[in-house]
Structure 1
Amino acid sequence: MTCNPEAKPSSIQMAPSINTLFFFFFHLLLCLTPSLAVAAGRVPALIVFGDSTADPGNNNNIPTLFKSNFPPYGRDFPGGRPTGRFSNGRLASDFISEGLGLPLTVPAYLDPGYGIEDFAKGVSFASAGTGLDKITSDLSHVIPLWKEVEFFKEYQEKLRSYAGEAMAAHIVGEAVYIVSIGTNDFLVNYFSYVTGRAVEFTVDEFAGFLVSIAGDFLTEIYRLGARKITFFGLVPIGCLPLERTVNVIGGGGCNEKLNEAARSFNAKLQALIGQLNASLPRLKLSYTPVDGHVLDILNNPSAYGIENVEEGCCGTGKMELGYLCNPWSPFTCEDADKYAFWDAFHPTEKMYRLVAEATLRTLAEFI
Structure 2
Amino acid sequence: MASKTTSSFFFLSLLVFLSIPNSAIASDKITAIFAFGDSTIDAGNNNHLNSLFRGDHLPYGCDFPNHVPTGRFSNGKISTDYFSQILGIKDLLPAFLDPQVTDNDLLTGVSFGSGGSGLDSHTVALANVLDLGSQFELFEQALLRIRRFVGNEKANDIIQNALFVISIGTNDMLFNVYMLPTSTVTPYGSISSYQDFLLQNLQNFIQRLYGAGGRRIMVAGLPPIGCLPIQVTIDSIIPSQNWLQRVCNVQQNIDSQNYNAKLQYHVHLLQATLQDAKVAYLDIYTPILDMVLYPAKYGFGHSLQGCCGTGMLEMGPVCNTDDIICPDPSKYLFWDAVHLTQKGYSVVANNGQTLLPYLTS
133-142 vs 248-257, greater mean Cα deviation = 248-257
Pairing 1:65–2:52 present: yes
- Runs of 4+ aligned structure 1 residues displaced above 6 Å come to none
The secondary structure found in structure 2 opposite 1:247 is: helix
2:112 — aligned with what? Answer: 125
Structure 2 distance, partners of 1:191, 1:51, is: 18
Counting only pairs closer than 5 Å after superposition, residues 284-363 of structure 1 correspond to structure 2 as: 284-330=278-324, 332-363=325-356
1:136 — aligned with what? Answer: 123
- Structure 1 residues 82 and 33, CA gap change in structure 2 (3 angstroms): farther
Residues 57-107 of structure 1, C-alpha deviations (whole Å, 9 max, x = no match): 000001000001010000000110000000000000000001101111111
Pairing 1:269–2:280 present: no
Q: How much is the aligned-residue C-alpha RMSD, in angstroms?
A: 1.4
Pairing 1:169–2:156 present: yes
The answer for unaligned runs of 5 or more in structure 2 is 1-20
1:190 shift after superposition: 2.6
1:42 shift after superposition: 1.9
1:206 — aligned with what? Answer: 194
The secondary structure found in structure 2 opposite 1:366 is: helix
Counting only pairs closer than 5 Å after superposition, residues 30-45 of structure 1 correspond to structure 2 as: 34-35=24-25, 38-39=26-27, 41-45=28-32
Residues 251-290 of structure 1, C-alpha deviations (whole Å, 9 max, x = no match): 2311122212211211111000111111110110000111
Structure 2 distance, partners of 1:70, 1:212, is: 35
2:10 — aligned with what? Answer: none
Pairing 1:154–2:148 present: no
Residues 109-154 of structure 1, C-alpha deviations (whole Å, 9 max, x = no match): 1110112211111110000000011111111000011111111111
Residues 298-348 of structure 1, C-alpha deviations (whole Å, 9 max, x = no match): 111111111100110011101111111111113x11111100000011000
Structure 1 distance, partners of 2:201, 2:256, is: 16
1:213 shift after superposition: 0.5
Is the 1:72–1:326 contact (alpha carbons within 8 Å) kept by the matching residues of 2? yes
Larger Rg: 1
1:198 shift after superposition: 2.2
2:179 — aligned with what? Answer: 192
What one-letter code is carried by the residue in structure 1 that aligns with 2:318?
L
Pairing 1:216–2:210 present: no
Structure 2 distance, partners of 1:257, 1:363, is: 32
Structure 1 distance, partners of 2:191, 2:259, is: 9
Is the 2:185–2:191 contact (alpha carbons within 8 Å) kept by the matching residues of 1? yes
Is the 2:95–2:110 contact (alpha carbons within 8 Å) kept by the matching residues of 1? yes
The size of the alignment, in residue pairs, is: 333
Is the 2:226–2:250 contact (alpha carbons within 8 Å) kept by the matching residues of 1? yes
The secondary structure found in structure 1 opposite 2:358 is: coil
The secondary structure found in structure 2 opposite 1:93 is: helix
The secondary structure found in structure 2 opposite 1:309 is: strand
Structure 2 distance, partners of 1:141, 1:258, is: 26
Normalized against structure 2, the TM-score is what? 0.90
What one-letter code is carried by the residue in structure 2 that aligns with 1:55?
D
1:215 shift after superposition: 0.7
Structure 1 distance, partners of 2:319, 2:230, is: 13
231-240 vs 187-196, greater mean Cα deviation = 187-196
1:195 shift after superposition: 6.3
Structure 2 distance, partners of 1:210, 1:258, is: 16
Pairing 1:235–2:223 present: yes
What one-letter code is carried by the residue in structure 2 that aligns with 1:338?
K
Structure 1 distance, partners of 2:231, 2:101, is: 36
1:257 — aligned with what? Answer: 251
The secondary structure found in structure 1 opposite 2:320 is: coil
The secondary structure found in structure 2 opposite 1:196 is: helix
Is the 2:40–2:73 contact (alpha carbons within 8 Å) kept by the matching residues of 1? yes
What one-letter code is carried by the residue in structure 1 that aligns with 2:341?
T
Counting only pairs closer than 5 Å after superposition, residues 101-120 of structure 1 correspond to structure 2 as: 101-120=88-107
| Identity level (%) | 38
2:12 — aligned with what? Answer: none
The secondary structure found in structure 1 opposite 2:71 is: coil
1:33 shift after superposition: 7.5
- Structure 1 residues 195 and 130, CA gap change in structure 2 (3 angstroms): farther
What one-letter code is carried by the residue in structure 2 that aligns with 1:54?
I
The answer for unaligned runs of 5 or more in structure 1 is 1-30
Structure 2 distance, partners of 1:287, 1:62, is: 30
Is the 1:134–1:145 contact (alpha carbons within 8 Å) kept by the matching residues of 2? no
1:78 — aligned with what? Answer: 65
The secondary structure found in structure 2 opposite 1:104 is: coil
1:20 — aligned with what? Answer: none
1:189 shift after superposition: 2.3
- Structure 1 residues 233 and 194, CA gap change in structure 2 (3 angstroms): closer
1:364 shift after superposition: 2.1
Is the 1:207–1:261 contact (alpha carbons within 8 Å) kept by the matching residues of 2? no
What one-letter code is carried by the residue in structure 1 that aligns with 2:66?
G
Structure 2 distance, partners of 1:80, 1:33, is: 37
Structure 2 distance, partners of 1:186, 1:329, is: 27
What one-letter code is carried by the residue in structure 2 that aligns with 1:326?
N
Is the 2:167–2:220 contact (alpha carbons within 8 Å) kept by the matching residues of 1? yes
The secondary structure found in structure 1 opposite 2:202 is: helix
